[in-house]
């Protein structure tokens, strides 16, 4: 499944599905609103209502593009129709951090043109980090960037996902700027771009807000030197 259901229907948190493959403690569904994770973002979690009750879905295991939903009960083997529910709160927390990280990335890119992201991690506990290929920078300058992120949150800027031709995308400087956050491929050769109006445009396959005002305040907690060329910025939601 190259295009995720959660991209097409970002507000879909509960739906019926049919189990098409199963093993003890795991199963594959014919459709799933779960984001499978990747590119530094944790996967969705949630619940599965089945004929005999409800079981927690603790994450996904992507095996060569096949999305196995991992169950909290590792002996349970299910079949037939079910209802899948996404943990809305966790999705929202990750989407806030993820959207804010795009804004942070834009501010770093604007302050230090050409800066590449060398790593990113968005956790489900309301924290995250981004690593940048930056050497000659005062860490206090980086630490102060959360003020700019909070400005964008306060302004309530619209966030859209658009699809552009992958061939054109590589010609647009800064659109594909990450070293390690690979957007997912689509069958027709297009690239999903997250457009934070007037702030940032970047290829990305993660989950995001539809307006920056939906984010809680953003705070940079720490800036660390990681090797000669890398700075790690740690952040959280207040
Ligand atoms: Zn993103």
Residues with CB in 5 Å of ion ligand 1 = 98, 204, 206
What per-residue string of b and e applies to 50-61 under the rule 16 or more CB within 10 Å gives b? beeeebebebbe
Whole-number percent of the chain with pLDDT over 70: 91
With a cut of 90, say whether residue 38 has pLDDT above it: no
CA of 107 from ligand 1 middle (Å) equals 15
CA of 102 from ligand 1 middle (Å) equals 6
Burial of residue 2 (CB within 10 Å: 0-12, 13-18, 19+) is exposed
CA of 27 from ligand 1 middle (Å) equals 27
Q: Is the pTM of this model over 0.75?
A: yes
Distances (CA, A) of 238 to 41, 97, 149, 201, 216: 19, 11, 13, 25, 6
With a cut of 70, say whether residue 47 has pLDDT above it: yes
| Tens-place pLDDT, residues 181-229 | 455 556 777 888 899 999 998 888 889 999 999 999 999 999 999 988 8
């Amino acid at each position: 499944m190259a295009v995720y259901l959660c991209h097409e229907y970002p507000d879909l948190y509960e739906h019926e599905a049919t189990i098409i493959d199963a093993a003890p403690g795991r199963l594959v569904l014919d459709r799933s609103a779960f984001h499978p994770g990747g590119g530094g973002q944790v996967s969705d979690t949630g619940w599965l209502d089945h004929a005999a009750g409800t079981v927690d879905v603790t994450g996904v295991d992507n095996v060569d593009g096949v999305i196995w939903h991992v169950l909290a009960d590792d002996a349970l083997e299910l079949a037939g129709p079910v209802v899948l529910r996404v943990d809305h709160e966790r999705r929202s927390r990750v989407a806030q951090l993820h959207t804010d990280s795009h804004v942070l990335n834009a501010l770093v890119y604007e302050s230090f043109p050409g800066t590449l992201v060398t790593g990113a991690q968005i956790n489900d506990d309301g924290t995250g980090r981004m690593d940048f290929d930056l050497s000659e920078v005062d860490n206090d300058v980086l630490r102060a960037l959360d003020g700019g992120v909070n400005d964008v949150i306060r302004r309530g800027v619209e966030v859209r996902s658009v699809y552009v031709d992958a061939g054109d995308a590589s010609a647009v400087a800064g659109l594909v700027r990450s070293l390690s956050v690979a957007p997912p491929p689509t069958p027709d050769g297009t690239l999903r771009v997250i457009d934070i109006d007037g702030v940032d445009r970047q290829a990305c396959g993660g989950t995001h807000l539809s307006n920056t005002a939906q984010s809680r305040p953003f705070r940079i907690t720490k800036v660390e030197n990681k090797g000669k060329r890398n700075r790690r910025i740690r952040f959280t939601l207040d």
